[in-house]
Structure 1
Amino acid sequence: MTATGVRLDARGVDAGHAGRTVLRGIDLTLKPGTVTVLVGPNGCGKSTLLRTVAGLLPPLAGSVHIDGVPLRSLSRRALSQQLAFLPQAPLVPAGVTVRDLVRHGRYAHRGAFGRHTDADREAVEWALEVSDAAPLSESRLDELSGGERQRAWLATVLAQRAGLVLLDEPTTYLDLRHQFEVLDVVRRLAREYGIACGVVLHDLMHAAAYGDEVVVLADGGVVAAGTPADVLTAETIGRAFGIDVTVVHDPDTGHLACFPRRSEPAASS
């Protein structure tokens, strides 16, 4: 089974909620086969922007298009067939197995009587396999570890067969191994299936290692956007996070790493 990636274009978007504008004039493009990572300090509006381009919050200004079609013109069902969104902390239904949860991801494709078709069953099996959740399929969701549970939610999102996947901090509360496992799945979605992936992350090292493009948000707008090597510089990080850092390249992997600069104490006379 394959998925067809779709493109999202946001132009001049103001994003906010509860009568408060958090971001102004945002331009953002998510392309098929590309992992785009949103980073920035706490409260800068990363999640608000993701929810806005997902259609969960109305843009306060500007426009959002999916494959050239205005987001506002799509019905909820049509949008769910194109775009899948995973929030930070989805509620865990009691007693539900992983397979039952993943089947729910097919809701946007079911017919009038809600019956599962061969296409639904194929999509569920594909989603379980791609997310490495197949061995967990008969387990109850509320009995899984954090990493296992996150793979189950990823499988549910994938079962939508959407060409655009938006993930809000998918590695939160996971240990290092499970963080890598989840991000490996995200990278596989882009590389092997051509899906456009938009991901909010806190860890700049993860952004550098897994992002094809990085968008740095701060002070109500975009500070920088481009490849990790172009964007994750000492200057940009200092401007966005208010911290003095040294940025280096890992000689083995080519990935970026940054370290805080510490002032040396004055030498005593």
Structure 2
Amino acid sequence: MSAGLALSGLDVGYAEGGALRRGRVRPVLSGVDAAAARGELTVLLGANGAGKSTLLRTLAGLLPALGGTVTLDGTDLLGLRAPERSRRVGVVLTDRPDPGQLTGRDVVELGRLPHTGATGVLTADDEAAVDAAIDAVRAGPLAGRPLARMSDGERQRMMVARALAQQPSLLLLDEPSAFLDVSSRVALLGTLRRLAGEQDLAVLLSTHDLEPALRLADRAWLLDGAGALHTGTPGELAASGAVGAVFDTDELAFDAPTGTFRLRTPG
């Protein structure tokens, strides 16, 4: 696959004491092969500690890869310099930054920095890209409001708009619904799937919202407890038993036909 994101033999991990040095690297995942196509919403699933954030942060350039290759639309993503990577990849993290007095539009305008450079001076084309990003997440009424006065769901919509303003080919999101209520979580997933199709984006997000993710995603990457990555459509992974093998507990069991969890019957 050339259109979209492709991982081949990717090894990821992190340094236990800071900088990557021999003997201090902790591998997390090895030999990862996966693809996320343009125009599709791909969800990254797995239990806590499975390596989801480490994998996403490596793809975003926040952690160095330990081995293997990653391409985006056929280009070596790991070899790109930071300015070029930031024009191709939009990132939304779980962190709650302090917005100060910034309005929603101010935040979205920050997404144009990869194109304006250090001056930050916006041209008419930059302003048009900001307008388009705000319209894409249907946040026009929020543009003039201070981010500090927005709900978590509204704020996250502006964070997605900021990433869209970069005009990327790939959108990476690490637990974007972590602080949202149930309806806002589902709405965000629906928005991301719509944006993937409308803007021909490859969208990859990690989430613990398993049931809505399996219902709304086009593809899924599932990390098991042994460090293996299973890929396929949500239906394929559910039917194969892979989802249940990762998430079943003594009290809960995943029901593949309905895509929901049920309480186990005593006895």
* TM, length-normalised to structure 1: 0.89
Tell me what 1:247 maps to: 255
Q: Are 2:231 and 1:225 aligned?
A: yes
Tell me what 2:65 maps to: 59
Give distance in 2, aligned partners of 1:261 and 1:233: 19
* Identical positions, percent: 38
Letter in 2 for 1:7: G
Q: How many residues align?
A: 255
Q: Are 2:155 and 1:149 aligned?
A: yes
Question: Which one of the candidate residues 190, 193, 196 is aligned to 1:187?
Answer: 193
Tell me what 1:35 maps to: 41
Structure 1: any 5+ residue segments left out of the alignment?
251-255, 265-269
Letter in 2 for 1:261: R
| Moved segments of 4+, more than 3 Å | 111-114
Tell me what 1:80 maps to: 86
Q: Residues 141-220 of structure 1 correspond to what in structure 2 (within 5 A)?
A: 141-220=147-226
Offset at 1:111?
A: 5.2
Instruction: Kindly provide the CA deviation profile for residues 225-256 of structure 1, in whole angstroms up to 9, marking residues without a partner as x.
Output: 10111102472133223536241445xxxxx2
Q: Are 2:143 and 1:140 aligned?
A: no
- Cα contact 1:81–1:162 (8 A) shared by 2: yes
Letter in 1 for 2:143: S
Structure 2: any 5+ residue segments left out of the alignment?
16-24
The alignment partner of 1:103 has SS state of helix
The alignment partner of 2:228 has SS state of strand
- Cα contact 2:239–2:256 (8 A) shared by 1: no
Q: Check 1:152–1:16 CA distance in 2 against 1; reply closer, same or farther (3 A cut).
A: same
Question: Which one of the candidate residues 7, 12, 19 is aligned to 2:9?
Answer: 12
- Cα contact 2:60–2:172 (8 A) shared by 1: yes
Give distance in 2, aligned partners of 1:23 and 1:248: 27
Letter in 2 for 1:173: F
Give distance in 1, aligned partners of 2:120 and 2:204: 30
Q: Check 1:246–1:47 CA distance in 2 against 1; reply closer, same or farther (3 A cut).
A: closer
Give distance in 1, aligned partners of 2:143 and 2:228: 40
Q: Residues 71-110 of structure 1 correspond to what in structure 2 (within 5 A)?
A: 71-110=77-116
Question: Which one of the candidate residues 120, 126, 141 is aligned to 2:126?
Answer: 120
- Cα contact 1:88–1:172 (8 A) shared by 2: yes
Give distance in 2, aligned partners of 1:67 and 1:49: 19
Which one is further off, 144-153 or 112-121?
112-121
- Cα contact 1:39–1:216 (8 A) shared by 2: yes
* TM, length-normalised to structure 2: 0.89
Give distance in 1, aligned partners of 2:118 and 2:147: 28
Letter in 2 for 1:13: L
